[in-house]
Structure 1
Amino acid sequence: MKNKKVITLIMAVAASGSSVYAATLPTSEVDAYILAMNTMSPITAKYTIQYKQAVEQKCNTALSVEQLNSKAFTNVVQAMVSSETVDRMGLDAAGGSLQDTLSVIGKNVKCSDLNAPFKALLDDKDFTRKHQHLSKVLHTWDEVVSQSKP
């Protein structure tokens, strides 16, 4: 049941976008970070807000800027950004890349591992088969990030 709530939250935030942050003054370091991100990369900010809210709601915690800026968190956000791009460009014949990505992420939010949803995307055979182009992008991203310094 909790996974359904997380998926619903992710979908609701996706529909509303990130314009809420643009209209308010930051009240914390995290808010300032997201506001700055929204100025430079609104799509990344939108998905950062989504994943942040999903984790915070499920885990009853507040994420720090360090956590938002971690490789693990960034992997999940990048998967959402890439999925939207693939959909917008019509690169996967099956379509629905973003919807399927959000579903897998929502089902795999783990309090002990911010990277769990990204790993789930990489390991999901049905997802890989249905979204071959996106899956290749995500596996390449994982390979590059895995080889970078901690």
Structure 2
Amino acid sequence: MGFYDFTATRNDGSTQSLADYRGKVVLVVNTASKCGFTPQYKGLQALYESHGPRGLEILAFPCDQFGHQEPGTDAEIAAFCEKNFGVTFPLFAKIEVNGPRAHPLYAWLKAEKGGLLTSGIKWNFTKFLLDREGRVRGRFPPTTTPAALAKEVEALL
């Protein structure tokens, strides 16, 4: 099983094959609207605007497993991201990233790149960077800003 074998539900309810991102550099992020790291949406959008034309995709997966910081519906999340941050990169339906109901993509990502102590996601805005072949090349904690990832992204583009 690899990145391109997964599907995920988009924020609008449609099904997205991740194979559609073949040949792209992909940044996968679990997000939340009421988190101290929520302003990173602005940095993610800036990274998307500056590097998207060269092949970067950012895939945001809202998650409510950390401090109930993503209580909204998928429609509310989309409206919040567009209104407050002008988000144009793909937003997916709210998922779980840890535990028995974790989305299969996240089970795979964590197996590919574990964390410091355990493979579990510790908080919102954990980031996984994948190369053009769909291989996980890095895992970054919430404290790593999108701007700090620019060099890693450029190296893969």
TM (normalized to structure 1)? Answer: 0.28
More helix by share: 1
Bigger relative contact order, structure 1 or 2, given CA contacts below 8 A and separation 6+?
A: 2
Structure 1 or 2, whichever has the larger Rg, is 1
TM-score of the superposed pair, with normalisation by structure 2: 0.27
Structure having the larger proportion of residues in strand: 2
